[in-house]
Structures are given as C-alpha cells and as structure tokens.
C-alpha cells in the first residue's frame, strides 16, 4: 500500500480513479512522438469549428496536434498576431522566448521564431538550445525592464504546463512579465483566428535556418542570470549552513538542468532524483484518471518522490515548465497545496522584515480560507481573485502584494528587499523556500500547519474533477446566481452566491456558493477538458462530503435548467 500520508485520497478525490494511478505507465500509454510531430505539420485546423480555433484559457492556447487543436497553423497565426500586437502597443524591446520539454514545444518554437525573425523582432533564445522554465522568462523580462520606460521587453513561453505529453501550449507575457490579461489575450485571439480564417495569407515568415541565424536573434544565458539572482529572493545561507538534505524531482521538466547549478552555486546538499528528459514522460507515475500528467500537486504523479522522502529533510518537485511546486516532508509526505501556501505566506510575512507593512496577500477563489485567518492575525489584507495567476501580476509588480498563491500549487513572492521577483508562478522559489523554512525553523515543515489548525481549527478541503465537453464548460462558465435555486448547503443557510471575485469584481468563470460552515466553487478548467468542484468545510470530513455531493446536484440542475440564461 502506497502511503500518501497527509495528502491522501480524502484531500484529493476525483471521479473514476484509474487502477493505474500511482504506477509507471505501460508502453501502450506512451505517445508516438513521430506521429505527434507529423500531425503538427500535416493537420490543418478548421476555424469554423470552435474547438479548432485559437483559444486562450487561463494561461495561453493549449491543445494537441492529434485533435487539430495545436498545429503549425495555430502557432504561425498566434505569432503573427503577437507581432501585430507589439506594433500596435509600440513594444520594441527584446522578446524573451522559451520552451519546455513537451514534444510539441520544439516544432512550435521553430514556427514562432520563423515569424518573429521575419518581423525583425529582437529575440532572445537560450544558450545551447536549453529548455527554459516559465518563471525564468518572467524574471528575464522584469530584469530587463527595470528602470526602463521605453524599449520594453516581453516574452513567449511555449508550454502546456503539467498537461499530458500529447499536448502543446503557447502563451504570451507582456512587459509586465506575467500572463497576459483578458484584454490582451482577446486581442491576440481574435487576430489569430482572423489569420486562420484567411488561410495564413499575408503573414511574414522566413525559414528556420535563416531565423536562427538572423542578426535579430540573440543567445541569452537564462540559466546563470536566474540562478545567480536567487540569493535575492531566498536566504540561501540559512539553507547551506543548516546542512539539511534536499531531494528534488524535476519530473522531466524545463528546469532539469537548473538544479545542479543551484546546488553548486550555493553549496547545498541537494540530490536530483531523475535527470532524464524524454517527451514520452515514461518515468512519471500515472495520474488519477489514467493520464500521464506531470503535476507535482498530485499524490499519484508524485508517488516516486513520496516513497523516497525518508532520505531527505525536505523534498520537492516542479511541473514541466517549473511554475508549479509540490512539497514533500519526511514526516507527512506530500503536503496539500493549500497547506503549503499557508506555511509559505505566514513565514514570509514574519521573516521578510524589509517588506512594506502595506503589502497584502493574493489568493484565488478556490484557495483555503485558512489564508484569510492567518492574514487577519498578521494584519495583512487579502485580495481574493478568480483562478489564474494573471490576476496577481499588477499587485506583485507594484508591491501591493508580497505573496500570490493559488490552490493548484502556483505561487510567487517578492524579493527579500520587497521589490518584484516574478509576476508569473515560480515553482523553483516556492520549492527552495520550503528548504529555507525547514532550515530556519529546525522542524519538519508539516508541524507548522498543525500549529495553525490548533489555533484556528481544522479545514477540510477537497477537489473533484470530471470530464466535460467544450460546450459543457462554456455553459458552466456563464452560470448566474439566479440559476442557483437552493437555499441551503449541507444543512446550513447559503448566504452568498458569487459569480464575481470579491477582490477585483472580475468574473469567476463559474460560481462560488458560501455558507457559514463551508463553501464550494464550480468552474470549468481553463487548461483541460474537465470541470472542477473545489469545496471546503470548517466542520468535519462528513460535512465536506455533503457539500461536495450537494454541489454536484446544484451544478447539474443549473446546467440542465434551460429556463434561465447566464448573466
């Protein structure tokens, strides 16, 4: 029996758990890489079909070449649209271009560069064609733009994050350094789809060989610029001097070659469990639904590291583009994402003495209310926003937020001096912070959350996922409060039904139903063909299960009710 310990199936429940979950994939599950790449070039999307258009979710366009949702035409069209956007916004600094280790990232990188170079964009690509984590691109943009008001840089990250191996992803980061906001993505999406509809006529493009050798294409040492700056966001001396043993599993992602230089530069006792890069990801245990998914927040994908946790004082993993984290303690195993966000936020506001007293905390609508209770004690404000890290960008940039975190294991925070580090999720600093906390507190990190429970009471959180078509997801996204006719949730009066986040009054893209003793959020995933119900009880596990059961009933009734339309 595998021990998931504190992060067991009571914390992470999904419909129809696969019998393969937590085991290494069998050969028949592995992607056929040549077939995937061939489909990227040979399959032509039909823009009259909604699913085959360019669609920006919570973080860029994602899909698979096998389903005509991520093909060469998509990337050429999006790249052309980004060039037009840069001209429209007079963005004329360098564009930092990076990619992760998914199979479709390499051809998408080539397609993008062919268009960017044809437009004479100054493009910064990695030395030695190195893979580049998402936070490293954000860090590069912000570092370049510091103290500049003109000639600003922006970036593109080619990644579908932790999505399965058959997927590709493509996202744009404007000069603010983080994921583009809705206004920008809508502009790019509309232009790209118009280009698709026009069968790519009039786009500028040169051969990849010419693009790579163009005078506007430059090599950039992403790795050492990022690694050498880490001491300004993490107290590396505390970690080094403690002598703690650290384990890391890069899960075959873009940061795989970053961890050894980090260990050498800061003299850390750090062991890398697996340095393999293989686009089939055959070494990653299967996730809950039988898919290979490089998700460090999943107890199934993290099985290998969980089973080796006794070798380390603290261990962690990051997803494929290294913007998400998974923290494994020797005592408790994989920490629930909500637990670690609380630990990290509490520690940072207590120990970053240069941070402004006015700095607040950013959290998404699906993140635990324990954050609010801790923030209240720390006398810090909480901005509760919709799902998507783009909602934290401005706050992290202008210093009104010292920390931004989302339940799906994404976070970033300010430098030690209180200035901005990244405005995109950074799984590497979140992971390294767990080592700093372990070293500084001289205790197993899980005990810190136990202290919160003793003071504020225990929170019972759970997420359920179910497969959903694009049409079902669109319908859920447009639900209105008036479609929820129930007055009670698990026996308690419902006192709030939200379709907009209280922190910024932006649409949740679903609903949040709140009672005195708990809440649930139902929303479609912006990155996968599923919908999610996240719920939390302030009472007990039985009460949580009632909330989840009733949430499913409430959502299904609302989705099948044709008498009321969305807002």
Q: For 317-337, what is the HEC assignment?
A: EECCCCCEEEEEECCCEECCH
- The rounded distance, in Å, linking the Cα atoms of 250 and 427 is 10
Q: Is the dihedral of CA 380, 385, 387, 390 positive or negative?
A: negative
Inter-residue contact 417 to 232 (CB < 8 Å)? yes
- The rounded distance, in Å, linking the Cα atoms of 454 and 452 is 5
Count of H-run helices and E-run strands, the chain: 17, 22
- In this structure, how many other beta carbons lie within 10 angstroms of the beta carbon of residue 348? 22
For residue 179, give every residue at least 6 positions away whose Cβ sits within 8 Å of its Cβ, in sequence order, or none.
58, 59, 60, 171, 173, 388, 389, 390, 393, 424
| 124 token code pair | 């910064």
Inter-residue contact 495 to 469 (CB < 8 Å)? no
- The rounded distance, in Å, linking the Cα atoms of 497 and 155 is 38
Closest to 74 (Cα-Cα) out of 59, 53, 88? 53
Residue 329 buriedness (CB in 10 A; 0-12 / 13-18 / 19+): buried
Closest to 60 (Cα-Cα) out of 496, 369, 389? 389
Catalytic annotation, pick one of 138, 161, 298, 412: 161
Known active-site residue 105: no
The number of angstroms, rounded, from the C-alpha of 124 to the middle of its chain's C-alpha atoms is: 23
| 250 token code pair | 């890069």
Q: Catalytic amino acids?
A: 161
């Amino acid at each position: 029996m595998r021990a998931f310990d504190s992060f067991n199936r009571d914390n992470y429940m999904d419909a129809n758990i696969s019998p393969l979950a937590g085991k290494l994939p069998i050969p028949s599950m592995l992607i056929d890489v040549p077939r995937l790449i061939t489909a990227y070039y040979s399959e032509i999307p039909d823009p009259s079909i909604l699913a085959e258009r360019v669609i920006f979710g919570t973080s860029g366009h994602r899909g698979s070449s096998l389903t005509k949702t991520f093909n060469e035409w998509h990337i050429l069209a999006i790249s052309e649209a980004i060039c037009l956007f840069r001209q429209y916004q007079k963005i004329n600094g360098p564009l930092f271009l990076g990619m992760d280790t998914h199979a479709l990232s390499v051809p998408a990188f080539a397609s993008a560069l062919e268009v960017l170079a044809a437009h004479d964009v100054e493009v910064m690509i990695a030395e030695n064609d190195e893979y580049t984590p998402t936070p490293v691109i954000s860090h590069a943009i912000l570092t370049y733009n510091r103290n500049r008001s003109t000639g600003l840089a922006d970036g593109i990250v080619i990644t579908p994050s932790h999505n399965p191996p058959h997927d590709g992803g493509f996202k744009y980061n404007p000069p603010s350094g983080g994921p583009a906001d809705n206004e920008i993505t809508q502009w790019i999406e509309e232009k790209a789809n118009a280009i698709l509809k026009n069968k790519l006529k009039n786009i500028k493009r040169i051969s990849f060989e010419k693009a790579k050798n163009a005078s506007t294409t430059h090599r950039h040492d992403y790795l050492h610029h990022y690694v050498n700056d880490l001491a300004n966001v993490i107290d590396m001396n505390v970690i080094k001097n403690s002598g703690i043993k650290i384990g890391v599993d890069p899960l075959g992602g873009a940061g795989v070659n970053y961890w050894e230089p980090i260990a050498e530069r800061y003299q850390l006792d750090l062991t890398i469990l697996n340095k393999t890069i293989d686009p089939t990801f055959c070494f990653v245990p299967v996730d809950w639904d039988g898919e290979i998914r490089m998700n460090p927040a999943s107890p199934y994908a993290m099985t290998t590291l969980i089973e080796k946790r006794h070798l380390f004082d603290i261990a962690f993993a990051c997803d494929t583009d290294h913007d998400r984290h998974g923290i494994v303690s020797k005592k408790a195993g994989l920490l629930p994402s909500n637990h670690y966000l609380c630990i990290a936020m509490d520690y940072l506001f207590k120990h970053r003495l240069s941070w402004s007293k006015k700095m607040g905390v950013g959290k998404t609508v699906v993140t635990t209310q324990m954050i609010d209770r801790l923030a209240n004690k720390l006398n810090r404000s909480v901005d509760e926003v919709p799902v998507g890290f783009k909602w934290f960008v401005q706050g992290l940039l202008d210093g009104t937020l010292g920390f931004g975190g989302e339940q799906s294991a994404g976070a970033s925070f300010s430098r030690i001096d209180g200035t901005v580090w990244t405005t995109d999720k950074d799984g590497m600093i979140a992971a390294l912070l767990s080592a700093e906390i372990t070293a500084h507190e001289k205790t197993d990190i899980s005990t810190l959350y136990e202290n919160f429970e003793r003071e504020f009471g225990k929170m019972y959180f759970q997420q359920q996922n179910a497969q959903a078509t694009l049409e079902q997801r669109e319908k859920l996204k447009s639900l209105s409060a008036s479609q929820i006719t129930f007055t009670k949730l698990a026996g308690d009066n419902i006192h709030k039904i939200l379709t907009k986040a209280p922190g910024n009054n932006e649409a949740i893209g679903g609903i949040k139903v709140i009672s005195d003793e708990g809440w649930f959020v139902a929303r479609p995933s912006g990155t996968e063909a599923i919908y999610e119900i996240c719920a939390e009880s302030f009472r007990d596990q039985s009460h949580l299960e009632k909330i989840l059961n009733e949430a499913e009933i409430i959502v299904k009734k609302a989705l099948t009710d044709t008498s009321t339309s969305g807002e």
